[in-house]
């Protein structure tokens, strides 16, 4: 077959040579042609070898990677199998231990007829009683702490209220319209200002005994009378204001002043007072003995701004300064009327 093909190729070449026109060509030396023909097959062979070598290396790398992947998968499968085996063993151990524990508990639990059973009951009762004691002690301590806090706070309040300031509420109409019932005022103790008062000051004082006023002789001056308390009643009355009633009035006269009430007006030392703060322009006489007096030492003459509805020095006489609770500084309630009082 090869011989036939070679013959056909030669014939074709001869035909093509005959058909092609004659072209002038340069004659190549035979040595050069033989050299080129000898070099070309060697180059092609070398390139094919290189390609084959590269393919062989790539295939080797691919096979190595496949082997590594297989090894990793096998290792993972082995680990999973080991974990499953361990879990099964643990389950078996737990199942085996449960009946043993139940048997041990049954063995440990004493029977109701044994002494150990009653000892355990007594021990539990003791523990319960101790817990109850601890809880009751904790509750009692907490109650005592709260009571102590309340007592301390109340003592502090009493000291501030007695020695420094107080905030009494007004429940009278005698100072209307200056101070209205239901309002609350701030009062400072008299010793903070040296027991000194000015005309027109609004003060609070202890209410005297009703209808028990005294005049020893014609030369003495009328002074309001008070009960004298002693012991615990004095402490409760003075310090804690138990059964204590206070009045709020305005200072009209002080020691040595001559106060007269006549013709519906008030005169101090012969001069008529211009009182723009009173509700009614007329001041009536309530008790004649107190309508024309000279204010004794250590006392003040007081009257309410609502003269027709006020029980004051016109009724019970001059008020001793030691019975005065203090001077009203300002109004603190209601909030919309907070401020000084004139």
> Which residues constitute the domain of residue 153?
130-163
Q: What is the pTM of this model?
A: 0.58
Question: Strand pairing of 265-268 and 258-262?
Answer: antiparallel
Tokens of 327: 């001077």
CB 223 within 8 A of CB 230: no
Choosing from 140, 163, 186, the residue where a domain stops is 163
Do 135 and 227 reside in the same domain of the chain? no
Q: Which residue has the higher pLDDT, 114 or 233?
A: 233
What pLDDT was estimated at residue 263?
92
Q: Residue 101 above 60 pLDDT?
A: no
Q: How many domains does the chain have?
A: 2
What pLDDT was estimated at residue 321?
95
The Cα 304–Cα 310 span in angstroms is: 5
Q: Which residue has the higher pLDDT, 249 or 41?
A: 249
Tokens of 21: 């026109």
Buried-state track 97-134, b at ≥16 Cβ within 10 A, e below 16: eeeeeeeeeeeeeeeeeeeeeeeeeeeeeeeeeeeeee
List the CATH number of the domain containing 219: 2.10.109.10
Q: Residue 1 above 90 pLDDT?
A: no
The Cα 304–Cα 168 span in angstroms is: 17
CB 305 within 8 A of CB 177: yes
Residue 224 lies in a domain: yes
Do 173 and 151 reside in the same domain of the chain? no
Q: Residue 47 above 60 pLDDT?
A: yes
Q: Residue 265 above 80 pLDDT?
A: yes
Over residues 305-311, the mean pLDDT reads: 94
Q: Residue 45 above 70 pLDDT?
A: yes
Burial class (CB in 10 A: 0-12, 13-18, 19+), 296: middle
């Amino acid at each position: 077959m090869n011989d036939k093909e070679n013959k056909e190729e030669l014939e074709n070449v001869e035909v093509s040579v005959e058909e092609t026109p004659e072209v002038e060509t340069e004659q190549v030396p035979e040595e050069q042609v033989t050299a080129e023909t000898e070099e070309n097959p060697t180059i092609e062979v070398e390139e094919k070898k290189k390609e084959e070598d590269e393919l062989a290396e790539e295939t080797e790398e691919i096979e190595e990677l496949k082997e590594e992947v297989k090894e990793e998968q096998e290792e993972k499968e082995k680990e999973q199998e080991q974990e499953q085996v361990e879990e099964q063993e643990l389950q078996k151990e737990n199942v085996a231990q449960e009946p043993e524990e139940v048997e041990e508990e049954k063995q440990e639990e004493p029977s109701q007829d044994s002494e150990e059973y009653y000892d355990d009951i007594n021990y539990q009762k003791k523990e319960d009683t101790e817990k109850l004691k601890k809880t009751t002690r904790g509750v009692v301590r907490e109650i005592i702490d709260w009571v102590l806090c309340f007592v301390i706070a109340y003592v502090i309040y009493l000291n501030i209220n007695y020695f420094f300031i107080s905030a009494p509420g007004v429940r009278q109409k005698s100072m209307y319209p200056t101070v209205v019932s239901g309002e609350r005022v701030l009062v400072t103790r008299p010793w903070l200002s040296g027991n000194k008062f000015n005309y027109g000051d609004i003060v609070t004082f202890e209410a005297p005994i009703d209808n028990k006023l005294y005049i020893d002789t014609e030369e003495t001056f009328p002074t309001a009378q008070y009960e004298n308390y002693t012991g615990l009643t004095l402490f409760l009355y003075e310090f804690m204001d138990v059964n204590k009633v206070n009045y709020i009035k305005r200072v009209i006269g002080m020691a040595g002043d001559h106060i007269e009430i006549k013709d519906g007006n008030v005169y101090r030392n012969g001069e008529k007072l211009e009182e723009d703060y009173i509700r009614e322009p007329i001041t009536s006489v309530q008790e004649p003995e107190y309508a024309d007096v000279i204010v004794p030492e250590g006392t003040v003459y007081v009257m309410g701004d609502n003269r027709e509805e006020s029980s004051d020095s016109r009724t019970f006489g001059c008020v001793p300064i030691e019975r005065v609770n203090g001077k009203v500084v300002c109004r603190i309630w209601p909030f919309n009327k907070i401020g000084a009082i004139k």
